[in-house]
């Protein structure tokens, strides 16, 4: 049985980002389907309150945010690399465009197209989640503008593939491809966005190439089994390195919160702090101790 437990739901765009990376790296993983809105009673004991999708679990270690998940996957499955030719800066840096601005446009297209058919409680959940930024009437009214914005950005991609290269950086796929792909996968569910993709032959062929990586080997796991895995893994002695000079020490009680949406604070004891990672030990009656890993960029530690 694979150690990798992935908590997601099938329509999750950030879930698709990781699933396609599982395919690229040929990873075997346990698949736990979680609710797409709150409440998430079998997720909260693992994340201490962090509510975004997806999360990855390895024993009692919980990886929040695709940034942390990708870093862990790259370290465990270095071949094939997501960073060919030393493209780390480009891959990570670009993800702040694809995951925020571009994803905002993808979401505006999906909500503007399908908003009327979405259940009211889902809209309410996402309005709370986004701090009030989901307004279906507005997204419907601005749909032509959102599509125009997307078309322009898709054209950058079309242009970037015009010399016949299979992937954006050349012969090998990289994080740059997976960052852009899940947005096309998500926005492309709207017929008007799909119609734009169909006018862009290089982009269409590139999408098929990424889709052909598949999702690795997925085995279903129940959420209660995932909780049991965390409970049975003793991480009471786990300690990482806490960088000096920031006024934080190992063992301090700290709070971690995303700086954009889903702003639920998670509290625990600091166990690791570095340029790219915050890790805390969190304890609750259901699973005991868990070590929750967050990225540094995009998160506030206090």
Ligand X SMILES: N[C@@H](CCC(=O)N[C@@H](CS)C(=O)NCC(=O)O)C(=O)O
Binding residues (CB under 6 A) for ligand X: these are 12-15, 36-37, 51-53, 65-67, 99, 129, 262
Smallest separation, CB 130 to ligand X (Å) = 9
12 or 105, CB closer to ligand X? 12
Smallest separation, CB 127 to ligand X (Å) = 11
Smallest separation, CB 297 to ligand X (Å) = 10
19 or 52, CB closer to ligand X? 52
- The Cβ-side half-sphere exposure at 192, using a 13 Å CA radius, reads 18
268 or 295, CB closer to ligand X? 295
158 or 260, CB closer to ligand X? 260
Residues β-bridged to residue 291: 61, 281
13 or 289, CB closer to ligand X? 13
Structure tokens, 129: 């989640």
77 or 299, CB closer to ligand X? 299
Smallest separation, CB 286 to ligand X (Å) = 19
* C-alpha dist (Å) from residue 291 to 255, 273, 298: 14, 13, 19
24 or 50, CB closer to ligand X? 50
Smallest separation, CB 139 to ligand X (Å) = 16
State residue 240 phi and psi, 5-degree precision: -110, -160
Smallest separation, CB 16 to ligand X (Å) = 8
Smallest separation, CB 229 to ligand X (Å) = 21
């Amino acid at each position: 049985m694979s150690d990798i437990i992935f908590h997601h739901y099938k329509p999750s765009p950030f879930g698709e980002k990781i699933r396609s990376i599982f395919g690229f790296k040929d990873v075997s993983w346990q698949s736990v389907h979680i609710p797409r809105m709150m409440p998430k009673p079998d997720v909260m004991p693992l994340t201490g309150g962090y509510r975004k999708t997806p999360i990855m679990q390895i024993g009692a270690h919980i990886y929040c945010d695709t940034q942390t998940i990708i870093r862990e996957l790259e370290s465990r499955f270095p071949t094939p690399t997501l960073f060919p030719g030393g493209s780390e800066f480009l891959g990570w840096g670009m993800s702040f465009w694809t995951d925020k601005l571009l994803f905002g446009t993808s979401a505006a297209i999906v909500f503007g197209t399908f908003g009327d058919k979405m259940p009211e409680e889902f809209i309410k959940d996402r309005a709370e989640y986004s701090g009030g930024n989901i307004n279906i009437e507005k997204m419907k009214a601005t749909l032509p503008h959102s599509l125009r914005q997307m078309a322009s950005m898709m054209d950058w991609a079309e242009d970037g593939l015009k010399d016949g290269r299979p992937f954006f950086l050349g012969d090998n796929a990289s994080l740059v491809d997976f960052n852009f792909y899940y947005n096309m996968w998500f926005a492309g569910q709207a017929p008007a966005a799909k119609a734009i993709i169909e006018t862009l032959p290089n982009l269409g062929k590139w999408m098929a190439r990424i889709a052909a990586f598949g999702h690795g080997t997925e085995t279903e796991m129940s959420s209660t089994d995932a909780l049991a895995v965390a409970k049975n893994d003793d991480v009471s002695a786990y300690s990482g390195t806490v960088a000096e000079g920031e006024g934080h020490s190992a063992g301090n009680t700290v709070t971690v919160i995303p700086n954009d949406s889903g702003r639920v604070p998670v509290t625990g004891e600091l166990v690791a702090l570095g340029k790219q990672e915050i890790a805390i030990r969190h304890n609750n009656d259901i699973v005991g101790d868990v070590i929750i890993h967050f990225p540094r960029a995009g998160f506030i530690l206090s």
